[in-house]
Structure 1
Amino acid sequence: MTHDFVSLAVIALVAAAAPIIANLIPRKPIPETVLLLAGGAVLGPAMLNVIWTDESVMLLSDLGCAMLFLLAGYEIDPKTVMGREGKRGLATWLVTLMLAFAAVHCFTSVSARGLDGLAVTIALTTTAIGALMPILKERGQLNTRLGESVLAYGTWGELGPIVAMALLLSTRSTWVTIAILFLFVAIAVLTAMFGHQSSRKEGPIRDIFFAGRDTTSQTFVRTTLMLLIALVAVSALFHLDIVLGAFAAGFILRYLIPEGDHELEKKLNAIGYGFFIPLFFVVSGAKIDLFAVLDDPLLLIGFIVMLVLIRTVPIFLSMRRDKDSEVTAMGGRAHATVAVYCTTALPLIVAVTSVAVGAGAMDADTASVFVSAGALTMLIMPLLAAAIYRVADTHPIEFLKEHVSR
């Protein structure tokens, strides 16, 4: 117990210091997430060993991961996902899945059909849409046309791998897994329908909920957390990854509050980004063995290069070939910006490699390299996306001269 509190105290210190350090650096080039991961890696078991990933700390980290995916699911408008551009995002993700499978089969020493090969395949198709949300918000791009495209393509880079994990990394037969997924979806849909009807049915229960939303009862927050934990528990009972339940909880919450609730959002952001989500990233960093990463730099670089080829290029080509007037009017730099943003990957890489390591199909050192590569994309891709977005389509030379002269 003492170890747990010491670990939490160190994690809280890293979480509090990260935004201060990030804002002290001119132009804030390094996202806070990268600093949280770096702090965890330096202070974790592989180096200074002052953060211990014991069972209680890991439980809180899992809750942080769940909060991250809840908020990601809540931010996503179903019309964006299932609209015309969202369908192109799904088609593009399927293309990236096939490309990733071929790349793992042709250019790696692992079997593409083995659990470790399938884990790498899925990792190469991911987009950290939950981790991208705060970056897009900070830059004022979330509610723009560019932000809508990032969500349309990026959501499938999160939802697709979640489903692929359930189908491909399960030890059950495929048909049993499909049946369980349908049962889980049915539970989520019934929950959404029940909540929708209950929220509109006038009566004493509804009055209690609305009367206590801003009091010490905090009825809306408590109900939201109950929904999250219940669906995560259902995921665990079905031996599915918890991110599926958390993502479903976010979608259900958006269905119940289609126009959004700013006060509830502020409270959930305070709970999530104030404690649980930073804790998740610090603990994820603590799982990284930096010495193992330094021992295999080619694997690190190769994974990032494959991410760019498999994820960035297909999204960029898809947007360039899109005949919709709004997408065409965005221009090439916006298309490239969306594609680069969607190559930001991390939380699902942590989840996928954890499954592979837990099954004994991947050693912890290799998983550390993949997680480190995902962490580097959290630094590199938002920086590159911002640079591309600032470059004028017709005057790139002037842009370069301006920045060289500074």
Structure 2
Amino acid sequence: MGFGTLALICLVALLGPILSLPRWLHLPVVIGELLVGILLGQTGFGVVHADDPTFAFLAEVGFALVMFVAGTHLPLRDPALRAGLPRGLTRAVGVGLLAVPVAWLVAEFFGTGHAALYAVLLASSSAAIVLPVLNGTPLTGPAMVELLPQLAVADAACVVALPLAIDPAHVGRALVGALVVIAGAVVLWLVLRWFVRSGREERIRHLSHERSLALELRASLTILFTLAALAVAGHVSVMLAGFAAGMALSAVGEPRRVAKQLFAVTEGFFAPIFFVWLGASLDLRQLADHPSAIVLGIVLGLAAVAVHGAMVVTAQPWPAAVITAAQLGVPTAAAALGTTLGLLRVGEATALLLGALVTITATAIVAGRVEALAVATAPSPTGD
């Protein structure tokens, strides 16, 4: 992989932001980046090769950063999270329990033997998809207050569960590795909390700003890559390391300046590389020989929408229930891990991403209704 290839990836990855410009579509930027990867990879012209070591490593760095930013998106310090926790937690657990038999039926029908993986996929939610879609929408009404913790719990639980579900043969090793990474994240959170409360964080932030040293960004990347090294040593995905580090940072309060810097580094460079690599690693020609993979993807997507939508029985408004089915990080991680480890069947990785696209389509369809619901139920400024 040379600078010419890197420049080409960055150039054509502009398609992602271009496709996301029409706000009424509510399309995530990554959709365009995946399409670019498919076009340039083994499905298309074969210009980029997913098995290139440099390309693959840069993609893994991008993967860790994508999950890091996703973890920081969880509103862990938002008072609404605590207010709506009982119902949000109950619904997240309800979705998880309902996902198990549905996933078993899907795995049995298609004969893949991946019931545990499908259960995690069906139960997952993506705060990184839903919160940007709801950007600017009041989150103070009852439906929104209960939506936030449901997203947070489902997101975090499924990220932790995925490494265990995707490779059951090594579940013991994965569990130990996951516990080490989580313990590292807890220690990190304690250190960061002490650092903030002692006033040292504020002094360093001012110094960094005055002298343009970007110390917070350097520290954030050091933290992320340290946890990623623990994850690799423990034979678990850097996905967990990135998400855990992001949650630790979110729990103590991520400074806006750091958030902007991380967003720029991730979305401007490393995330496009990861999603282009992921698209390049997929061979859609396989779907012609295995049309059942297309059906599997559609079924997984519709099943996720149905499982989350079933929470209307708990008095959750149906648009809010459907939008919690939005998923991207977990199925993307499953496709990337499954492809790298050779654990998925032919066309199955593409099916997982297709299922995610179905849930994103459903999210785009109901986003307007969720916004209207949030506005209608938000308390008035006068408290009336």
Q: Is the TM-score greater than 0.5?
A: yes
Which residue does the alignment assign to 2:365? 384
Q: 1:317 to 1:6 in 2, by over 3 A?
A: farther
**1:340/1:381 contact within 8 Å kept:** yes
Cα separation, 1, equivalents of 2:70 and 2:37? 23
Q: Deviations over 1:337-367 (max 9, x none)?
A: 2222222222211222333344443234222
Identify the residue that residue 234 of structure 1 maps to in structure 2.
Answer: 230
Partner residue in 2 for 1:264: 258
Query: In the alignment, which residue of structure 1 is the partner of 2:164?
Result: 167
Tell me: CA distance 1:303–1:194, structure 2 relative to 1, closer, same or farther (3 Å).
closer
2:88 is aligned to 86
Counterpart of 2:187 in structure 1 is 190
CA contact (8 A) 1:221 1:268 kept: yes
Structure 1 letter corresponding to 2:364: L
Alignment partners' CA distance in 1, 2:229 and 2:286: 34
Q: How does 1:153-302 map to 2 (within 5 A)?
A: 153-170=150-167, 177-201=174-198, 207-208=203-204, 210-213=206-209, 215-257=211-253, 260-294=254-288, 295-296=290-291, 297-302=294-299
SS in 1 for 2:134: helix
CA distance in 1: counterparts of 2:7 and 2:357, whole angstroms: 23
Query: Equivalents in 2 of 1:56, 1:391: separation in Å?
Result: 46
Provide the C-alpha distance between the structure 2 equivalents of 1:319 and 1:228, rounded to a whole number of angstroms: 39
Are 1:128 and 2:126 counterparts? yes
The 3 A distance-change label for structure 1 pair 298 and 168 is: closer
Instruction: Give the direction of change, closer, same or farther, for the CA distance of 1:354–1:199 in structure 2 (3 Å limit).
Output: same
Give yes or no for the alignment of 1:374 onto 2:356.
yes
The AA in structure 2 aligned to 1:78 is: L
Paired residues of 2:177 and 2:231 also in contact (CA < 8 A): no
Q: Which amino acid is 1:210 matched to?
A: H
- Which shows bigger deviation, 367-376 or 229-238? 367-376
- Following TM superposition, by how much is the alpha carbon of 1:92 offset from its aligned partner in structure 2, in angstroms? 2.3
Aligned-residue sequence identity (percent) comes to: 21
Equivalent residues in 2 for 1:299-310, closer than 5 Å? 299-310=296-307
1:37 Cα deviation after fit = 1.7
Q: TM-score, normalised by structure 1?
A: 0.78
Counterpart Cα distance in 2 of 1:90 and 1:64: 28
Shift of 1:211: 0.4
Where 2:224 maps in the other structure, the secondary structure is: helix
Per the alignment, residue 109 of structure 1 pairs with 111
Q: State the match for 2:97 in structure 1.
A: 95
Q: Which moved more, 1:229-238 or 1:194-203?
A: 194-203
Gaps of 5+ in 2: 374-384
Q: Output the aligned Cα RMSD.
A: 3.0
| 2:379 match | none
Deviations 1:38-72 (A, max 9, x none): 22212222111223222222222222222222222
Separation in 2, partners of 1:316, 1:68: 31
Q: Structure 1: which 5+ runs fail to align?
A: 321-334, 393-406
1:147, distance to aligned residue in structure 2 (A): 5.0
Inter-CA distance 182–142: structure 2 relative to 1 (3 Å threshold): farther
Residue aligning to 2:377: none
CA distance in 2, matches of 1:272, 1:359: 25
> Contact 1:10 / 1:51 at 8 angstroms: preserved in 2?
no
Tell me the number of residue pairs that the alignment of Structure 1 and Structure 2 aligns.
364
- Alpha-carbon separation, structure 2, partners of 1:389 and 1:202: 40
Please give the alpha-carbon distance, in whole angstroms, between the structure 1 residues aligned to 2:215 and 2:55: 27
SS in 2 for 1:250: helix
CA contact (8 A) 1:288 1:372 kept: no
Give the superposition deviation at 1:386: 2.4
Q: CA contact under 8 A between 1:10 and 1:50: conserved in structure 2? A: no
How far the C-alpha of 1:12 sits from its partner, in A, is 0.8
- TM-score, normalising length from structure 2? 0.82
Maintained 8 Å contact 1:136/1:147: no
Task: Classify the secondary structure of the residue corresponding to 1:290.
Answer: coil
